[in-house]
């Protein structure tokens, strides 16, 4: 999971992110923004947190959709 996310973020020069154990945290681009976090809870179960809310997913497309919709960058 982390590898796929990093491949996308590396294409976005303005994206600032941090890696943790089983998670990727994208930092807010401005003081008024919010961070976006995707974390592997256990095998094939992930949580996506942004804007004060958290959702859990087991399907890659749904968790990626939730994660990328919270990003403050444009993904091609």
Dihedral through CA 35, CA 40, CA 44, CA 47, nearest 10?
-40
pLDDT in tens, 19-60: 998 899 988 878 888 888 888 888 878 888 887 888 777 666
Among residues 21, 20, 23, the alpha carbon closest in space to that of 5 is found at 23
pLDDT of residue 19: 92
pLDDT of residue 17: 93
Does residue 67 register a pLDDT over 80?
no
Q: Are 44 and 57 in contact (CB under 8 A)?
A: no
Q: What is the DSSP letter of 53?
A: E
> Exposed (0-12), middle (13-18) or buried (19+): which is 31, by Cβ within 10 Å?
exposed
């Amino acid at each position: 999971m982390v590898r796929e996310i990093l491949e996308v973020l590396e294409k976005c020069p303005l994206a600032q992110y941090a890696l943790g154990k089983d998670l990727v945290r994208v930092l807010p681009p401005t003081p008024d923004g919010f961070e976006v976090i995707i974390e592997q809870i256990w095998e094939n179960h992930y949580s996506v947190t942004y804007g004060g809310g958290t959702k859990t997913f087991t399907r890659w497309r749904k968790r990626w959709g939730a994660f990328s919709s919270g990003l403050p960058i444009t993904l091609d």
